[in-house]
Amino acid sequence: MQNQRKNNRDSNLLGSQPVGKLLAKYAVPSVVSMVVMALYNIVDQIFIAKGVGYIGNGATTAAFPLVTVSLALALLIGNGAAAFISLELGRGHADKAQRTLGNAVLLLSCSGLLLTTVVFLFMEPLLRMLGATEAIMPHAVDYVTYIAMGFPFVIVSTGIANIIRADGSPRYSMVVNLAGALLNTVLDPIFIFTFNMGVKGAAIATAFSQVVSFSLGILYILKQAHYVRFSLPNLRPDAAIIRKVVSLGSASFITQISFTIVNVVLNNSLTYYGAQSPYGAEIALSGLGIVMKINSIFINVILGIAVGAQPLLGYNYGAGYYDRVRSIYKTEVAATFFMSVLANLLFVLRPEIPVTIFRDQNPVFNEFAVMATRTFLCCVFSAGIQIPSANYFQAVGKPVISMMLNMSRQLLILVPCILILPHFFGLKGILYAMPVTDILAMLLALAFILRELHHLRHPEEALLPQAGEPDAIG
């Protein structure tokens, strides 16, 4: 076994190249890819703000949880498959990694078609549940009608992009996402302004761009893959592989679904308490929607670094190189914490800078957006520790801990804060919910990751693995 692991290390650069160089190689394209994913919706938001106004932005805010569900399905399967492929390549099981790719493609395709069908069958009830007011509803229906058509393509392309990264091609993974985002940026103003199609035009541009990303991802797994190439026989469902993929991807899925639940609670709370404030329901909903989009750019930078580190962590953990695992994690956290502190300073000291790109002609809207950015995002430095720590446990095959950390942040802390604090502080209570959550989630993540780092230094003291997790350290 040790000779096999040594041969794996010699044949795969993930086990031998300097940690800093490897992390830069994987993290930079991953950051670009993750930011591009955030920009799909944000570019729509910017152009809609100019062409339709804050009512149009309210429509995209109400629809955003549906987009999050599509991303949740893509990450459930894509991240799960990528983590399992990295672990199996580290263990020298190339055939199993190949079968994992085939099963992932099957699951991604079926989940995309299922989501589109559900959205079309229950569109208006879903949008009402997500906080769409009567003024916003017509725009939201226009937007979701075409966005939903693109769900199968975005789910497959996003999932495959994660697998491509695990296959050793982080730059191509970046290209898959970047091509669609650039095309979306070009098409948005054409459909919104030239064709005068409003939010409908933004949705059509996005869906068409996602088809391009889908095509590039399929081309890679058919023709250009290094270690795991697609073949039709591998589409045959393998129950053991599917269980493992779902288990490893469950943390990402729970994170996104939790985010969707948070959005539902948040949207409805904003319209309720916003109607009782000087700002009104629509400005509260649209304004915090802008803040969430600004935050999504920052979060995706941190996630990009963490996701870029996943193949490195997974391969070296699977191969038994625990010193390298510690070094990768520490280097990763140094980068994410530095970026988080910079973002925190921007949001607190100069919040008007990020808000400017969404500026509306209504001065009350602009006033609320600036105030909400400064308050809601005043403790984002904590994400530099919490996010890479939760992703670490997913990468090394411990999805239960990863899922627990992410669920605690979204469901067990943030949702209660959103529901409780407005009773004392009104609309501002919703804004106070996020900094309280950020600090508590960071402290919880620290408690688990410090214990894990100790076990990596002293593997003989490691506990037995949890159900569904890999063998104990050592």
- Residue pLDDT, tens place only, 340-374: 999 999 999 999 998 887 776 788 888 999 999 99
* Cβ count near 337 (within 10 Å): 17
Mean pLDDT for the stretch of residues 296-312: 88
pLDDT at 386 over 50: yes
Residue 377's pLDDT is what?
95
- Residue pLDDT, tens place only, 79-96: 899 989 988 887 888 889
pLDDT at 8 over 60: no
Residue 102's pLDDT is what?
93
Residue 99 CA to residue 232 CA, distance in Å, equals 10
Check if the beta carbon of residue 9 is closer than 8 Å to that of residue 321: yes
3-state secondary structure 334-364: HHHHHHHHHHHHHHHHCCHHHHHCCCCCCHH
Residue 461's pLDDT is what?
58
Percent of the chain whose predicted confidence (pLDDT) is above 90: 44
* Domain assignments of the chain as residue spans, ordered by start: 17-461
Of 21-25, 105-109, 350-354, 356-360, where does mean pLDDT reach its minimum? 356-360
Q: Whole-model pTM?
A: 0.70
Mean of pLDDT over the chain: 86
Residue with the two structure tokens 């010193």:
323
Confidence of residue 41 (pLDDT cuts 50, 70, 90): low
467: exposed, middle or buried (Cβ count in 10 Å: 0-12, 13-18, 19+): exposed
Check if the beta carbon of residue 328 is closer than 8 Å to that of residue 19: yes
Residue 9's pLDDT is what?
45
Mean pLDDT for the stretch of residues 23-42: 78
Residue 108's pLDDT is what?
97
Confidence of residue 168 (pLDDT cuts 50, 70, 90): confident
Q: At what angle do helices 137-149 and 94-121 cross, to 10 degrees?
A: 150
Of 145-149, 201-205, 441-445, 467-471, where does mean pLDDT reach its minimum? 467-471
Residue 61's pLDDT is what?
80
Residue 436's pLDDT is what?
96
Check if the beta carbon of residue 425 is closer than 8 Å to that of residue 378: no
Confidence of residue 10 (pLDDT cuts 50, 70, 90): very low
Residue 190's pLDDT is what?
93
